[in-house]
Amino acid sequence: MLAVSVLALALGACAQAPNEPAAAGHAPVTSNRATLALDVATLSAYGWHLSEAVDSQGKPVAALRAGLGQQPLRLSFSGTSLNVSGGCNAQFGGYTLEAGALTVQGLAGTMKACSPERMRLDTEIAARLKGRLAAEVQGGAEAPRLRLATAGGDVLVFTGMPTPETRYGGPGKIVFLEIAPERAACSHPLIPDHRCLRVRERRYDASGVIQQPAADWQLLYQPIEGYAHRDGEHAIVRVKQYTDPHPPADGSSRVYILDLVVQRGR
């Protein structure tokens, strides 16, 4: 409850959950294919997933192999702050830009324990993301690549994926949703026998104490991106709500993306 209190105080008011059908689509960021600049705006507009890591001889860096594929190492930039995720712990620090270079000012990190493989990834990526890195952004806005060359000669290539703020043209609104343990049957024009999440908005007072629900359970036809529901489990999640400027004809304009699982259990 203390953790929930801090979250509620920090994030403020919530928006009401909708009762609208179908999943929202993603609008393309832009059709501009010109090469992007290496600047704060470009770096902050994307999440950067590690897609290639080779040494000075062009051979794959074995120490970073686990950071490729389905659970890649990821960089995210916000202003002059850099965050690294995808290993065991979140790592974060400051950075600066100059012509052709990105300089990392030292990374700190959380200190939880994971599998040895994921913990080694933290060490290996931190050893490479330090000091002055030769940097360039390749490609246009639809599929940019961030290329970083380390002092030791390794070359790391990160593929850019538009952030939700980029995809939907602005910051999301924080909403807390309670999710019922069992899904409910609901009508979907494209999916026979579709079952929807049952949700209701939850609010917190100024002291961070959860309030009684102000609304009944509603069916949520679209998914919560990043959230995998397990039948039989009750949850409260913090999500960001966006408005899709180009929703499908049969869908909702509201999009929900998981920000944090506040609590979960049977």
Cβ–Cβ under 8 Å, residues 72 and 85: no
Residue 214: per-residue pLDDT: 86
Q: Encode pLDDT of 213-241 as tens digits.
A: 988 999 998 899 999 999 999 999 999 99
* Neighbouring C-beta atoms of residue 254, cutoff 10 Å: 20
Give residue limits of the domains in the chain: 2-28+168-265, 46-162
| CA-angle at 181, arms to 174 and 175, nearest 5° | 5
pLDDT > 70 fraction of the chain, expressed in percent and rounded: 87
| CA-angle at 250, arms to 248 and 256, nearest 5° | 65
Q: 164: which 2 tokens?
A: 């939700």
Q: 19: which 2 tokens?
A: 């009762």
pTM comes to 0.75
What Cα–Cα distance (Å) separates residue 63 from each residue in 116, 131, 159?
12, 20, 19
**pLDDT bucket at 251, cuts 50 / 70 / 90:** confident
Amino acid at 18: P
User: Quick one: CA torsion of 144, 78, 84, 61, rounded to 10 degrees?
Assistant: 30
DSSP assignment of 198-211 equals EEEE--B-TTSPBP
Find all residues with CB under 8 Å of 149, minimum gap 6, and list them.
133, 134, 135, 155, 156
CATH topology of domain 46-162: Lipocalin (2.40.128)
Whether residue 244 is predicted with pLDDT greater than 80 in this model: the reply is yes
Whether residue 58 is predicted with pLDDT greater than 50 in this model: the reply is yes
Helix (H) or strand (E) holding 136: strand 131-138
Residue 32: per-residue pLDDT: 47
Whether residue 192 is predicted with pLDDT greater than 90 in this model: the reply is no
DSSP, collapsed to helix, strand or coil, labels residue 2 as helix
Q: Which residue has the tokens 């040895």?
A: 116
| Residue 3: alpha-carbon gap to chain centroid | 21
Classify strands 234-243 and 145-149 as parallel, antiparallel or unpaired. Answer: unpaired
Whether residue 9 is predicted with pLDDT greater than 50 in this model: the reply is no
Q: Encode pLDDT of 16-57 as tens digits.
A: 344 443 333 333 344 445 679 999 999 999 999 999 999 999
Q: Which residue has the tokens 């869908």?
A: 251
CA–CA dist 169, 167 (Å, integer) = 6
**pLDDT bucket at 242, cuts 50 / 70 / 90:** very high
CA–CA dist 218, 100 (Å, integer) = 51
Mean pLDDT of the chain: 87
| CA-angle at 65, arms to 59 and 70, nearest 5° | 130
> Looking at 143-157, 160-174, 221-235, 240-254, which range is the least confident one?
240-254
Mean pLDDT score, 140-146: 93
Whether residue 186 is predicted with pLDDT greater than 80 in this model: the reply is yes
Whether residue 4 is predicted with pLDDT greater than 70 in this model: the reply is no
What Cα–Cα distance (Å) separates residue 23 from each residue in 61, 129, 156, 194?
39, 38, 35, 12
Cβ–Cβ under 8 Å, residues 263 and 179: no
Q: Encode pLDDT of 78-134 as tens digits.
A: 999 999 999 999 999 999 999 899 999 889 999 999 999 999 999 999 999 999 999
